[in-house]
Amino acid sequence: MCDAVQKLVDESRAESRTEIAINFLREQVAPELVSKATGRSMKRVLELQASLGDESGD
């Protein structure tokens, strides 16, 4: 049971860091700083940045 709870906590933290990264990117913060501040890999930050570019197509 403890392992299951820890897994949920870890997933929640990762999701929160991703949301924070998205918010930074929306504010035009440099991807390198976003990666450093959130612990997300540069690859993941660049993927998030690319997906945000898709949002502006509306």
**CB-neighbour burial class of residue 25 (10 A; exposed 0-12, middle 13-18, buried 19+):** buried
Residue 51 lies inside a defined structural domain of this protein: yes
Residue 41 lies inside a defined structural domain of this protein: yes
Domain range for 50 is 23-57
Q: Which two tokens stand for residue 35?
A: 């990666």
pLDDT at 58 over 80: no
Residue 12 lies inside a defined structural domain of this protein: no
- Its pTM stands at 0.78
**pLDDT score of 55:** 72
Higher pLDDT: 26 or 55? It is 26
Domain count, the chain: 1
